[in-house]
Amino acid sequence: MIRLEEHIKIATAEAIVELYESEVDPNNIQVQATRKDLTGDFTLVVFPLLKISKKNPVLTGEEIGKKLTEKIQEIDSFEVVKGFLNLNLKAAFWVNYLNSILTSEKYGQKCADENAPLVMVEYSSPNTNKPLHLGHIRNNLLGFSVSQLLKATGKNVKMVNLVNDRGIHICKSMLAWQKWGEGATPESTGKKGDRLVGDYYVLFEKALQQQIGELIEQGTDKETAVKNAPLLVEAQNMLRKWEAGDDIVIDLWKNMNAWVYKGFDKTYADLGIWFDKIYYESETYKLGKNLVVKGLEDGVLYQKDDGSVWADLRDDGLDEKLLLRSDGTSVYMTQDLGTAHQRYSDSAFENHVYVVGNEQIYHFKVLSIVLKKLGYEWADLLFHLSYGMVELPEGKMKSREGKVVDADDLIREMVESAAEVSNELGKLDNFSDDEKNTIFKQIALGALKYFILKVDPVKTMLFDPKESIDFNGNTGPFIQYTYVRIQSVLRKAREQGIEIPIQLDSSTDVSEKEISLIRKLYEYPDLLNEAGNQYSPALIANYLYDLVKEFNQFYQHHQIIKEDNATKRAFRLALSNFVAKNINDGMSILGIEMPERM
């Protein structure tokens, strides 16, 4: 379906030929939605055309407006305000537009075919030394939603996770468990496996800081104390044993990671997210090391006297980057080189999106440049979707000190808050306990997901659980409640034997509130594409909030079921039904389930 804006651009180009005997590329003509404080549906920006017309903005607008009224039957009238030509459409256009979309299965969305580009989206990427926390929640929700958004815009999407299951941080948890665990398991302690392992990571860091403090008190300078603390030396030795395949270390590593994976799986299930494939650093770091060795042999990389291998990126405006330590062990960059190579070999993606916090911007610049130096042209296909950190009213989180908001705790607390608020409002008094629990979870996760995803990804955000669960304002529960309100109206109509039509009379007399609501629906396909191009679920979230506000305005001013005029009633039911569908489709892109009753 060609959008009316495109017709206006083409007709304007024709009008310019007729009026001023000059040609303009329609793509260079600016047409946009009219500002809310002005009268009109679409606005043609006249200023760029003055050098062709050689006339003032008002006269140029008047002349083009008259031509457009002749050429486009949907235009009812126009008004020139300074350098802007505001076009008013006939009400029939909006009724016909609603008619044209009423039977759309996935309004505004495109179905991917086998030739559609493959986009790989990496998100989550947890370490197996700690449970998922609030920062991971933003990562997971953003990555999952971006994946659904790209699917909605016609891309083939492969959702992947990279588990950082090896390295010095893992060895810290392992060593602490060896020293102080006394055989503790998730079963013996009653703790989720990821939380149990995380406790030992915190324990290690506390003991390490105590050792460093003692060395400094004994006269050792801080840099030497940090480097030579006995616990850290032991952890480094354990890492070397792991890379050498020591049976005892490997067995401990497998057992503790298995505990963590079971814990992760529960958290992912609770969040309602999943992956098409999971990669493990322990399976790709060797490939990365091989790429580094080959780069050294080819003279692309260089080796220092201590045996460490580096990339010199100074000509690229960066600095020197370590790729292999002097003892031969790898670093994060090493395994990311291997993982990227493995993924391209697996899927030959046309784009690869890394959903990773903005503290890693430098890392991903280096990754692309090093891969390019190693001869891989597909390095240009890598894109880092960096996002801001999540802060709490009381400040930043600190994993090493155990000062984090555990994801499981947050989900549980959100569900409890949803139950408390719902019970206070008396919204679910007549529901069974099972129905209540399902709705509490839908409200809680809707609140959590919406509050996080409505913020532009690049921005640091402040998460306030109490504000997110509010049934008023720009929140998930507010949107869910409006959706439920519409479902209630539709149910009552069906109970009364009133059919919800899928075809409308184009001559139906409609109000400005109804047109405003259809106008908002009209925006969705273009906004969906824009959101996909920007990897921004926030555009969808805030569109839905605006749509819900428009619906509530319409709902307050119009009878629906009680409307005596059957034609108007049918129109309002069809309009309400489609608004609910648009809300549901949009919220599903955000990964949010919609309750049918509240």
CATH number of the domain bearing residue 282: 3.40.50.620
Do 333 and 200 belong to one domain? Answer: yes
Do 330 and 186 belong to one domain? Answer: yes
What is the pLDDT at residue 411?
93
Q: What is the largest CA-CA distance in the chain?
A: 91
Q: What are 462's strand-pairing partners? A: 391
What is the mean predicted confidence (pLDDT) over 156-183? Answer: 95
Split at pLDDT 50, 70, 90, the class of 598 is confident
Do 392 and 474 belong to one domain? Answer: no
Do 144 and 293 belong to one domain? Answer: yes
Distances (CA, A) of 574 to 417, 485, 580: 35, 15, 10
Split at pLDDT 50, 70, 90, the class of 25 is very high
Do 370 and 411 belong to one domain? Answer: no
In a domain, 264, yes or no: yes
Cα distance between residue 183 and residue 193, in whole Å = 13
In a domain, 101, yes or no: no
C-beta atoms surrounding 304 within 10 Å: 11
> Does the structure show a pLDDT above 90 at 183?
yes
- Collapsed DSSP state (helix, strand, coil) of residue 351: strand
Q: Name the residue among 405, 4, 59, 40 with its Cα closest to residue 198.
A: 405
CATH number at residue 62: 3.30.1360.70
> Does the structure show a pLDDT above 70 at 500?
yes
pLDDT tens, residue by residue, 154-164: 999 999 999 99
Query: Which of 384, 401, 418 is the last residue before a domain boundary?
Result: 401
Do 449 and 533 belong to one domain? Answer: yes
What is the pLDDT at residue 50?
95
In a domain, 99, yes or no: no
Do 82 and 133 belong to one domain? Answer: no
pLDDT tens, residue by residue, 514-558: 999 999 999 999 999 999 999 999 999 999 999 999 999 999 999
591 torsion bin: left (phi>0), alpha (psi -120 to 50), beta (else): left
Split at pLDDT 50, 70, 90, the class of 402 is very low
Q: Name the residue among 363, 178, 146 with its Cα closest to residue 256.
A: 178
pLDDT tens, residue by residue, 326-370: 988 888 899 999 999 999 999 999 999 999 999 999 999 999 999
Do 469 and 516 belong to one domain? Answer: yes
CATH number at residue 427: 1.10.730.10
Query: Which of 69, 89, 109 is the last residue before a domain boundary?
Result: 89
Do 25 and 173 belong to one domain? Answer: no
- CA quadruple 572, 573, 574, 575: dihedral positive or negative? positive
pLDDT tens, residue by residue, 550-593: 999 999 999 999 999 999 999 999 999 999 999 999 999 999 99
In a domain, 598, yes or no: no
In a domain, 107, yes or no: no
In a domain, 387, yes or no: yes
Spatial contact of 122 and 162, defined as CB atoms under 8 Å apart: yes
What is the pLDDT at residue 394?
64
Residue 520 structure tokens: 């908002």
Do 320 and 349 belong to one domain? Answer: yes
> Does the structure show a pLDDT above 90 at 2?
no
What is the mean predicted confidence (pLDDT) over 294-306? Answer: 96
C-beta atoms surrounding 215 within 10 Å: 18
What is the pLDDT at residue 398?
45
- Collapsed DSSP state (helix, strand, coil) of residue 476: helix
Average pLDDT, the chain: 93
Cα distance between residue 578 and residue 598, in whole Å = 20
Radius of gyration (Cα) for the chain, nearest Å?
Answer: 30
What is the mean predicted confidence (pLDDT) over 177-192? Answer: 97
Do 565 and 440 belong to one domain? Answer: yes
In a domain, 597, yes or no: no
pLDDT tens, residue by residue, 43-90: 999 999 999 999 999 999 999 999 999 999 999 999 999 889 999 999
What is the mean predicted confidence (pLDDT) over 188-206? Answer: 96
What is the mean predicted confidence (pLDDT) over 385-399? Answer: 71
Residues of the domain holding 42: 4-89
pLDDT tens, residue by residue, 236-292: 999 999 989 999 999 999 999 999 999 999 999 999 999 999 999 999 999 999 999
Split at pLDDT 50, 70, 90, the class of 114 is confident
C-beta atoms surrounding 464 within 10 Å: 12
User: Looking at the 3D structure of the chain, how many domains does it have?
Assistant: 3
In a domain, 52, yes or no: yes
Residue that the structure tokens 């459409």 belong to: 89
- Number of residues written out for the chain: 598
Do 274 and 211 belong to one domain? Answer: yes
Query: Which of 381, 401, 421 is the last residue before a domain boundary?
Result: 401
